[in-house]
Amino acid sequence: MTEKNSLILVGISHHRTPIDIRERLFISESSLLESLKKLNTFNSLEECLILSTCNRVEVYASTQNYEKCVSAIHDFFVEVQNIDPGVLKKHLYVLRGEQVIEHLYKVSGSLDSMVIGEPQILGQVRNSFRIASENQFIGKNLLSLFSSAFRVAKKIRELTKIGTEPVSVSSVALDLAKKIFRTFEDKTVLFVGSGEMAESAMQTIISQKPQKILIANRTYAHAQALASKYSGWAVDFENLEDEINEADIILTSTSFSGFIIDSSMVTLALEIRKDRPMLFLDVSVPRNIDPLVNEIENIFLFDVDDLQKIASDNMKGREEESLEANSIVNREVQSFLNSKIVENSSDIFIEIRRLAEEFRSEEVKRTLSSFPELDERVIDGIDMMTRAIIKKILHNPSVAIKEILEEGADGESIHLVRRLFGLEDTSSKKPFLSSEEESESIS
Amino acid sequence: MLALVIFLYLVSSIGHLYVMLTGKRRLFSFVLVCLISGFIIHGILLTSVLSLFETKEIGFWFSGVSWVILLFYLLLYAKYKEIAFGSFAVPVAFIIEGYASTFPGLLGGGSSEIEGYLLKGHAYLAVLGMAAFFLLLFTSVMYIIQSSQLKSRRPGAWLHRLPALNVLDDLGHKILYFGFTFLTFSLLLGSMWARSKHGTFWSLDPLSLIRTWPLVLTWLAYGLLLVCRITRSWKGMWSAIFSMFCFVCVIFSLLSHF
């Protein structure tokens, strides 16, 4: 990597761009390769990657020419994605150097997502990286950046509880069901009604492939339609009392005013089921299940308020965990920058030897000019002797520097070594930066 | 040799009960090898006594009954491959053979060597049984905590740290099977030892009573729990609470040895 190489990120995200703009800039996975090729027709970027999700469209690049690169990405958005430059100007952001590293770590670790801790983003980043990498758009700068981002994301998942607890009503319902039954392959679920609230929870539960799906609706034809859609069985709404004993999980969502399932029905069902536990999820308002049902042993009832409260508590928990995750990101950014400084310092020996050789040859030349009568043999002898002295003097420091580097030197020690030998101090310069490192909007 | 036969019959009995109760035949070939090995050694022992000596003691005849029961079972198994008969026949054969070993005689029964093995078997199995009941206690406590969390409708952090309720219930059920089986065979070996040592299955001296009865009570309590789980379908919370009461008996059994 040369010193002039700079990491650049140009993009838009959910933080300041509404969905109508985001969807216009969105690039589907199947079009990513084509878009990468088009992007390169604007200006040949040394390395580039496009990350496109429903929350963000970002171009990561490593280039020697910052201005041209930013302008190429801007033009790409305007022309290929067909968006007005005036509109784009309001939303587009540009990050450079260290900020790109920090941003990517946060994105991969799901700290920058709309729902903090959501698990999909890491897969999306990996996918974008795979497509760019397979098609030679990734060089050593983006390779080391993204490899470290995947490692940091893993670390965040391992060291914090950021993605462990669900934050949507349907995923909370599924989570609770899994804490009662663990798996669903031998379980029967009964859906009563098909209110709007139930739709997402229904699909989440069905995605777990329960053994049997029963659907009850006040309109039998509607139940039949849903049953055929989800490969289930329609049951008679009027005879719900006879059906609930078969179900392990019951989700109710009707507009019926009053309780359609009460304690006596559940007690009877439990007797028939020989006390096998049942989970009731009542997502209807007004409620469809008598709250007293929860008093019965081996029966678990959650209404929509319970589910929403758990979801919001979990969200607060994720926000608290994100503080710890952010400090991991900060530490990892510093560690990444340090590793780059050390990497750049691998040629420190060559510099020291070159400097020593410069001094030696100068001094030998000056000394010999005072003794023009010396013959070739003596001159060669002096030359050899001075080389040997230099070699011996530099031997111990060279071994020590090698050891320091191998032990994992930080920027401080590299800086100190350079100072000791009077070398030009490039270690104080942050890698991936060519000049100023402020984020800016396109102007 | 007699001790080896009893040991092999013990393993076969536990194996047959395991296969019968769980329906898993994974280890059955090993169990069958143990049983046939024991049966052959047992046969050699009986034949040697039969051919060498004129008079036979009562222990010999008991031992013969045990061998014949197993002979019938093995013949039936060879023809029908049915294990159900064996899950009764093998434990019964083990009990009769163990009882036979308490009579002094040419088979080697009633000797201090046999008594030593019976006592060791009793102690080791009791340890396994007690360990299983400790594990059952842990699963019951976890079940009660997890169930209470879910019942509260505002589960806390423990929700994700503990396993699902059906996992805990299922685990508890399996542990109960094993614990109860180990304790049952431990008590059988203990009573065989008592018969050999004192000439009676139940010693009436105060120390033996103090040590034996808590163990018998433990056996009764867990037996009742097992029966209720199987016949009355006690699931979940009730089973967890009752197993905690049963554990009180385990504590008494342990304290009685101090």
pLDDT tens digits along B75-109: 999 888 888 888 899 999 999 988 888 777 666 66
Please name the residues in contact with B24: beta carbons below 8 A apart, sequence gap of 6 or more. B18
Please give, rounded to a whole number of angstroms, the shortest distance from the CA of B157 to a CA of chain A: 9
Determine the Cα–Cα distance for residues A286 and A288; give it in Å rounded to an integer: 7
Per-residue pLDDT tens digits for A101-157: 999 999 999 999 888 888 889 999 999 999 999 998 998 889 999 999 999 999 999
A44 CB-side CA count, 13 A: 1
Across the interface, whether the CB atoms of A275 and B235 are under 8 A apart is answered: yes
> Which of B94, B127, B117 shows the shortest CA–CA distance to B197?
B117
Closest CA to A246 of A287, A278, A200: A278
Q: Which chain B residue has the Cα nearest residue A295?
A: B151
CA of A165 vs chain B CAs: smallest distance (Å): 8
ipTM above 0.90, yes or no: no
- pLDDT per residue as tens, chain A (443 positions): 444 578 899 999 999 888 888 888 888 888 899 999 988 887 767 889 999 988 899 999 988 888 888 888 998 888 888 888 888 888 999 999 889 999 999 999 999 988 888 888 999 999 999 999 999 899 888 999 999 999 999 999 999 988 888 888 888 889 999 999 989 999 999 999 876 667 777 888 888 899 999 999 888 888 888 888 888 999 988 888 888 999 999 999 888 888 999 999 999 999 888 888 999 999 888 888 999 999 998 899 999 899 999 988 888 888 888 999 999 999 999 888 877 776 766 677 788 888 899 999 999 999 988 888 888 889 999 999 999 999 999 888 888 877 777 676 666 777 788 788 887 665 555 555 443 444 444 43
Helices (H), chain B: 2-22, 28-52, 58-80, 84-100, 112-152, 158-161, 165-198, 206-231, 237-255
Bridge partners, residue B70, by sequence: none
Per-residue pLDDT 10s for chain B (258 aa) are: 778 888 999 999 989 988 887 777 778 889 999 999 999 999 998 888 877 766 667 778 888 899 999 999 999 998 888 888 888 999 999 999 888 887 776 666 667 778 888 888 888 998 899 899 999 999 999 999 999 999 998 888 788 889 999 999 999 988 998 999 999 999 888 888 888 777 776 666 776 777 778 888 889 999 999 888 887 667 788 889 999 999 998 888 888 766
Task: State whether B155 and A298 contact (CB < 8 Å).
Answer: no
Q: Look at residue A345 in the predicted model and tell me its pLDDT.
A: 65
- Comparing CB atoms, the residue among A178, A277, A301 nearest residue B236 is A277
- Name every chain A residue with its beta carbon within 8 A of the beta carbon of B159: 179
Of A418, A424, A427, nearest to A397 by C-alpha is: A418
Tens digit of each residue's pLDDT (9 = 90 or more) over B22-32: 777 778 889 99
- Cβ atoms within 10 Å, residue A408: 11
Contact A182 B167 (CB under 8 A): yes
**Two structure tokens written together for B215:** 């163990």
Phi-psi region of A136 (alpha: psi -120 to 50; beta: other; left: phi over 0): left
Provide the shortest C-alpha distance from residue A310 to chain B (in Å).
Answer: 7
Nearest alpha-carbon partner for A390 in A426, A347, A421, A368? A421
Q: Round to whole Å and give the CA distance between A423 and A439.
A: 32
Active site residues per annotation of A: 54
Measured between CA atoms, the residue of chain B closest to residue A172 is: B155
Q: Which of B153, B167, B237 sits opposite A298 (nearest CB)?
A: B237
